[in-house]
Structure 1
Amino acid sequence: MRMARIAVLLDRQAAKRRHRYGINVFEAFVGEVLAHAGIAYEWIDGAEELTRSNPDLLIVALAEDDQASADAIWAYAERGGTVISYAGLRALASRMGCYEQWSIPVGYASWPGEERLRFLSATPWEQEEAGAYPAAGEGVIRKERPSGSTAGPALLRFTVGEGAIERWAVNIPQTIVLFQQGTGPVLQDGIPARDGTGAVDEGILKADDRCGMDWEWDRLRTETGAPYFAYPYADLWKERLIGHLLKCARAKGLTVPFLGYWPEGVPAVALISHDSDLNVDESAETTLDVLEECGIRSTWCMIEPGYSPSVYERVKQKGHELAFHYNALEAQQGKWDASEFGRQFDWLKKATGKAEVVSNKNHYTRFEGWGELFAWCEQNGIQADQTRGPSKKGNIGFLFGTCHPYFPIAWFDEANRLYDVLEISFLTQDLDHVHLSDSSVIVPFLEQVARVGGAAHFLFHQIHIHEQPRVTRALRKVVAEARSRGFQFWTSEQINAWERARRKVKVTAIGSDGKVTAEGIDHLNNIVVYIPLSEPDETDRTGAETEIRYGVPCRKVVLNPLRQAPASVTE
């Protein structure tokens, strides 16, 4: 079974030109999507390299809109290659009898019998004269709202010579970025919900002041009336992107191996984090007792001036993670400043006696600009951040469209590089708190996280666990409901270690006997590799049991198996 060779074309000169004029190239984020899935690929800097590289599948992230690039991509397809584009290829539109419509900033894509997906960038094509290249359409694009006017197919498929061109109307990588990181830099308050449940316009700049969700169309309510953002759109678009790629390879009789997100036996992960805020020692002791009763380890984000030294020692003895809680809230004499971030972080290391601290979460989800926070984390050796989450009762849930850890992308002034900081967003805080949402959201949150194989991150403040018994009961309910669904509880530090180690795994070969050869597996156990089957009857020949992943039947292989799923990376 031959593995497909995948290349991503990102024309470096075209990218530099856009950066020079203040234009982002978020299309480059497709590389992060593939890396998170464990799919091997190579970068191509210009279309002229296609003759040399000649991959089986070509993702065109960014190409020059000149004739030379268009001709090179067209010739590649005619030779039998498959071209995939996300709202690009303008230079080839007229050649295929198509007219490019005006770009649509917001809308929904839908397929028969499936739920709709909100998008944040689309440029549809309309085929006026099919000629020699009639298009096959898939899905429907609707403008602005789920019932909006249609603007053509979500995906157009063209046969070109011996190959194919597959063009999505939706700019999927950009849509994912704008969901996960917000629709732009945070410079002013966000737009509040009409029903009063999401007053984000309170005069404090926060992560949720730039959000790609719609208060009306993207929220549901539980049986108690609690509103929540119900759809992990960014993760669902990642599934669309990956599933389409696998099917394109399968159509050529090829396979694209990919990795499971978690170790064998771990369908999804749950994370409980705490913010020390008022720093009452008694609240820490109460929380430690509750966690011991529940049998879980959690992440403790510490804010200055912190707890007594004895509390830190007990936290460490019980196996919990000590993390940073940066305070930039002006009302508490904090400020958004690189040197102040570093000063507070130095305090934390001295107070806790830890030379290295892996994780951070900003107090009150304070956030400004686009990537400053991630740059400060890099500068101080912080590897994971948890700041991106809701601050209001009515915007809990999949506020940023994701429950997957990811490496965020920079703004154009840093050439849209990826920050070396793993973002692990959270879903909600302090359920059943007198002023916050109730615990009826726990089950729908866990069900959606399990559906996409993500990390269910719940925040509970120690002070509320100590003072409000209903909050404590909600924490116990999270643990019970998650465990009943097979979730394992990890700390932020464990998630970070696993994700970084997993990304070093590379499948290098699949033998005729089905044996998988991979690099980077020496210090990992229970690594799951999925091998999409290239033919419908291949299951019969291999005798292997299959699972449907991304809509494709796959053979499952576990590398370095243990009898029991590990609780962390190397256990």
Structure 2
Amino acid sequence: MDMQMARIGLFFDGQAELQRWSHQENIFERFIIEVLEHARVPYQMIDDISKFNTVDLLIVGLASENHLIKEALLEYAASGGIVISYGGLELLSQELGCKILPPLEAGYLVLPAEFGQEDPLRYLKANPWQYIDSESVKQTGELSGDDQKSAALLQIPVGKGYVDRWAINIPETIVGLQQGTSPVTEDGIPAPDGTANLDEGILKADDGFELDWEKDRKTTETGMPYFFTPYADLWREVLLGHLTRRALDKGLTLPVLEYWPAGVQHMAMISFDSDMNINEAAEATLQVLKQEDVQTTWCIIAPGFSKEIYEKAKVDGHELALHYNALEAEDGVWSEEAFLEQLEWLKGAADETNFTSNKNHYTRFEGWGELFQWCEKNGIQADQTRGPSKKGNVGFLFGTCQPYFPISLADEQNRFYDVMEIGFLTQDMNHPSLADTTIIQPFLEKAKRVDGVAHFLFHQHHIYHLPKVKEALIEVVRKARAAGFTFWTSKQINDWERARRTLTVSANGRLEVLGAAELPDVKVWIPLADADAEERGLTYKYGLPGKTQVLQVQLNKVEL
């Protein structure tokens, strides 16, 4: 299959960045980098307008009101390039014949079937434009709650090329869903039906979620409420699908490296929090896990289990991890010193020098990036803290089940923390005060839909004392395996994703995956512009037909 890869450029105006940061304004548009890195879509950062003509698609992350930038963008489009923006480009509005409309608050967008999105997508705000000569531009999607009926995407012809402008700042929306729109400094708003008392006086991750209690939850057949849509992951698909379509429009391709190795269909994970630290509970849990032949991640809180338990867990292939306790009711303290002290305690208790993962006790969380800073400084590469603490907010309350690297605030110049977040969906099903197992199937289906991680949390204490929770654990394992899921530990997921991000897909003539380490075979999805509806072996992604190919990683072909 002869093909040429689309060249994608990502432009950030350095002067505009410095000005924003000097005023403590965030540039969450930078999360485009994380979306492209996770998908392994090759791109190049551009900070010089003279280099616009070296790429086929130019994403404008940030541009100031500079006449040289304005002229360069218009000239690039007129010569056949495609300029792409997510809620920006105010500097071009007049030249493009557009009127800037008042901004919109949170709403929902229904995209045409061609985008492959069955559910309406929640956005947190929008900055719509109105095109004055509406017949000469393609308008896609209609923003809800807008009396002026503005489109979500305008594709405006400029000479031989286009300016494609989304009304929604997609990367900022993903960040807001995953990490909140502001630091956690106070209790969240509780569920109106009484199923999630977030206002209990304990700061935690879910105090800063951005979904709607009424519109974004469904109930199972037994009445269990849950957040049902991984909106952030679906927005990633919209962004990548749009890029793929525009590449195909130019006769180019944009292959996507699948998220898991060729031998893995779907990914699941089980983690445990040791909490009560009863050795008998740990022994009973180990027996169940051995019976089901599944490896899990054990987050250990002081005073921990006995050394014998740790040794047995490691022999059985389980990962030991930190369960940082900052809960004031248990004399916990939210501080770097307390984090380090507990990590050093665990190293001694378990006779281990390195731990990959952490999950905070009771999902305690404050501020924005403090936890990730502590993890970075102390060698913790993966965190699992961002998940639900209540019965009524289980599911995709942060809009994602993808592993991702969180972004910092303006005071750190919106850098990415070197800590992979792997959030969880629910805990201890069948516990009297939590959800039952009717949520398993929808969680597996949605995690499968976005190729994410179906992460379920349990406590050894409940496995031992509550037979129905033990039954729930067994049901998760068996249902997931029947649906084609493989169980990995947090460390395995972290190690794979980090290794995977060293790979490069090359498609100039012949399709290859290049890397500098021996890794399992990988799957690459190749979009097809003119696939015959009757053609066999097609796989669909982003609403587009394509073919999936299994490839060996070619060694020493690329300088990393």
Same fold (TM > 0.5): yes
**Counterpart secondary structure, 2:95:** helix
Letter in 1 for 2:15: Q
Alpha-carbon separation, structure 2, partners of 1:128 and 1:219: 38
User: Structure 2 stretches of 5 or more lacking a match?
Assistant: 554-560
1:491-548, Cα deviation, whole Å (9 max, x unpaired): 000000110011111023343xxx42232164111211122224446998xxx84321
The counterpart of 1:447, out of the listed 445, 450, 462, is 445
Q: Does 1:16 align with 2:18?
A: yes
Could you list the per-position Cα deviations for residues 10-48 of structure 1 after superposition, in whole angstroms to 9, with x for gaps in the alignment? 112211110110110000000100110110101112434
- Mapped contact 2:30–2:171 kept (Cα < 8 A): yes
Matched, 1:61 2:56: no
- Whether contact under 8 Å (2:9, 2:52) holds in the other structure is no
Which position in structure 2 is the counterpart of 1:508?
Answer: 506
Per the alignment, residue 227 of structure 2 pairs with 229
Task: Please show how residues 60-139 of structure 1 align to structure 2 within 5 Å.
Answer: 60-112=60-112, 114-129=118-133, 134-139=136-141
How far residue 238 of structure 1 moved from its aligned partner, in angstroms, is 0.4
Correspondences of 1:155-554 after superposition (within 5 Å): 155-511=153-509, 515-520=510-515, 522-536=517-531, 545-554=537-546
Range moving further from structure 2, 407-416 or 502-511: 502-511
SS at match of 2:289: helix
Q: Could you tell me whether the CA contact under 8 Å between 1:3 and 1:256 is conserved in 2? A: yes
The answer (yes or no) to whether the contact 1:141–1:150 under 8 Å persists in 2 is no
Aligned residues: 547
| Higher deviation after alignment, 96-105 or 474-483 | 96-105
For the 8 Å contact 1:11–1:47, the answer to whether it is kept is no
Q: Establish whether residue 559 from structure 1 lines up as the match of residue 522 from structure 2.
A: no
Q: Is the 8 A contact 1:46 1:63 kept in 2?
A: no
Measure the CA separation in 1 of the matches of 2:149 and 2:300: 50
CA displacement 1:61-112 (0-9 Å, x = unmatched): 1111222211111110011101111011111111122111122231111135
Report if the CA contact (8 A) 1:101-1:126 is conserved.
yes
Equivalents in 2 of 1:150, 1:448: separation in Å?
A: 33
Which one-letter code corresponds to 2:132 in the other structure?
Answer: E
Tell me if structure 2 keeps the 8 A contact 1:142–1:150. Answer: no
Alignment check: 8 A CA contact 2:512 2:551 kept: no
Once the two structures are TM-superposed, the CA of residue 129 in structure 1 deviates from its matched residue by: 3.8
Aligned to 2:558: none
Matched, 1:2 2:4: yes
CA distance in 2, matches of 1:238, 1:249: 17
Partners of 1:441 and 1:538 in 2: CA distance: 35
Could you tell me the percent identity over the aligned residues?
Answer: 53
The whole-number CA distance in structure 1 between the counterparts of 2:545 and 2:530 is 9
Mapped to 2, the partners of 1:38 and 1:538 lie a distance apart of 28
Task: Tell me the distance in 2 between the aligned counterparts of 1:266 and 1:297.
Answer: 15
Write the letter of the residue equivalent to 2:525: Y
CA contact (8 A) 1:254 1:534 kept: no
Closer, same or farther: CA 463–405 of 1 in aligned 2, 3 Å: same
Contact conserved, 2:230 with 2:401, CA < 8 A, in 1? yes
Q: How much has 1:456 moved relative to structure 2?
A: 0.2
**Contact residue 47 and residue 63 of structure 1 kept, 8 A:** no
- How many Å separate the matches in 2 of 1:538 and 1:89? 38
**1:50 Cα deviation from its structure 2 partner:** 1.7
Give the partner amino acid of 2:74: W
Change (3 A) 1:56 1:537: farther
Q: Which moved more, 1:271-280 or 1:522-531?
A: 522-531
For residues 123 and 523 of structure 1, what CA distance do their matches in structure 2 show?
A: 46
Q: Is the 8 A contact 1:124 1:151 kept in 2?
A: no
CA distance in 1, matches of 2:532, 2:388: 47
Q: What SS does the aligned partner of 1:64 have?
A: coil
Structure-2 separation of matches of 1:190 and 1:31? 30
* Alignment gaps of 5+ in structure 1: 562-571
What CA deviation, in whole Å up to 9, does each residue of 1:172-216 have, x standing for no partner?
000000001112100000011111111101000000001110000
Which 10-residue stretch deviates more, 100-109 or 417-426?
100-109
Q: SS of the residue aligned with 2:211?
A: coil
Q: Tell me, in whole angstroms, the C-alpha distance in 2 between the residues paired with 1:10 and 1:416.
A: 13
Aligned match of 2:557: none
CA contact (8 A) 2:531 2:546 kept: no
TM-score (norm 1): 0.93
Q: What is the distance in 2 between the residues matched to 1:403 and 1:336?
A: 26
TM superposition score normalised by structure 2: 0.95
SS at match of 2:261: coil
SS at 2:144 equivalent: strand
The CA deviation string for residues 208-232 of structure 1, in whole angstroms up to 9 with x for no partner, is 0011100000000000010000000
SS of the residue corresponding to residue 196 of structure 1 reads: coil
Offset from partner CA, 1:136-193 (integer Å, 9 cap, x none) = 10111113xxxx7564111111111111111111110000000011121000000111
**Which digits, 9 at most, give the CA deviation of each residue in 1:247-283, with x for residues without a partner?**
0000000001210011124221110000001111111
2:33 matched residue in structure 1: 31
2:44 alignment partner in structure 1: 42
